[in-house]
A and B are shown apart, each in its own frame.
Chain A
Amino acid sequence: MNIDVDKLLSSLTQQTRTLFSSLDVTQPLMVGIRTGGIWIAEHLHQTLSLTKPLGVLDISFYRDDFSRLGLNPEVKPSSIPLDITDEHIILVDDVLHTGRTIRAAMNELFDYGRPASVTLVVLIDRNGRELPIDAKVVGKKIDLDPQQHVKLSGPKPLKLEIITSNIDTNND
Chain B
Amino acid sequence: MKLEINNAHIVDPANQLNKVTNLYVNNQTIAAVDKSPEDWHADEVIDAKGCYLFPGLVDIATRLREPGHEHKATIASETYAAISGGITSVACLPDTDPTIDTPAEVELIQQRAQSAGHCNVYVIGALTTNLEGNMLSEMAALKQAGVVGVSNVLHPMANNLVQRRAMEYASSQNLTLFYHPMDHDLAANGCVHEGMFATRAGLAGIPTAAETAAVGSCLAMIEQTGIRVHFCRLSTQRALQMLERAKFDGAPISADVCAHQLFLSDHDIIGFDSNYHVIPPLRSHTDIAGLRHRLSSDIIVSVCSDHQPHERDAKLAPFASTEAGISALETLLPLAMQLVKDEVISLVNMISLMTHMPADLLNIKAGTLTPGHNADLCLYNPNIEWRLTPENMHSRGKNTPFLNRTFKGKVTHTFVSGKLVYQSQYD
Contact flag (A, B; Cβ within 8 A): no
Q: Which residues of A contact B (CB under 8 A)?
A: none
Q: Which residues of B contact A (CB under 8 A)?
A: none
